[in-house]
Amino acid sequence: MNQTISLRVNGLPETHEVPANQTLLQFLRETLDLTGAKEGCNEGECGACLVLLDGRAVNACLTLAVEADGREVTTIEGLGHAGDLHPLQAAFLKHAAVQCGFCTPGMIIAALGLLRDNPDPSEEDVRWAMSGNLCRCTGYRQIIDAVQEAAAAMRGDPAPEAAP
Ligand code: FES
Ligand code: FES
């Protein structure tokens, strides 16, 4: 059975007929061709599929598309672009917090959800907020450093002085 949904995705209005059992992840990737959110475990364990739903990070693999009806979805494609990166994207690059990149969209969305609620998180806050995101490559240290640097940039704190 299909249902018509109307929502905003990365600021743009979208109206589509979707199967009642289609996940938000399938809708984003297959209908809208927004492939930034990744299908990893497909069971809520890895965080690769995270998107913001009305500003809160959710696992798109566990959310039905019909649940997004009337709401605002933000995916990694809705952040910065080449030449105009979001502070989180810039900090992930600077700290080499990206290797294969599979986990990165979910990591950045998790961090964005955290920073909207808590602009000045402690390392423990960051670790807790990112605890549902798995990375097989980086070892996490660079990711935590990147989130804390991006948080400072988003607060408008002066950049730390470079070591002599
Ligand atoms: S694909 Fe959704 S949590 Fe892993
Ligand atoms: S950078 Fe490869 S899984 Fe995180």
What pLDDT digit, counting tens, does each position of 39-69 carry? 999 999 999 999 999 999 999 999 999 999 9
Q: Are residues 46 and 97 in the same domain?
A: no
In the chain, DSSP assigns E strands to 2-9, 12-19, 50-53, 56-59, 72-74
Question: Which ligand has the shortest distance to the CA of 104?
Answer: 2
As a whole number, mean pLDDT of residues 133-146 equals: 93
What is the chain's alpha carbon radius of gyration, rounded to the nearest angstrom? 16
Q: Can you give the pTM of this predicted structure?
A: 0.94
- Would 164 be classed as within a structural domain? no
Give the residue, by CA position, lying nearest to ligand 2 atom 2: 100
Q: Are residues 109 and 145 in the same domain?
A: yes
CATH of the domain at 64: 3.10.20.30
Candidate from 45, 108, 137, 140 with most ligand 2 atoms within 8 A of CB, to mutate: 137
CATH of the domain at 147: 1.10.150.120
What angle in degrees, to the nearest 10, is found between the helix axes of 87-94 and 104-117?
Answer: 130
Residues with a CB atom less than 6 Å from ligand 2: 98-104, 135-138
Q: Are residues 13 and 44 in the same domain?
A: yes
Confidence of residue 164 (pLDDT cuts 50, 70, 90): low
Q: Are residues 6 and 71 in the same domain?
A: yes
What pLDDT digit, counting tens, does each position of 80-117 carry? 888 999 999 999 999 999 999 999 999 999 999 999 99
- 43 and 25 in contact (C-beta within 8 Å)? no
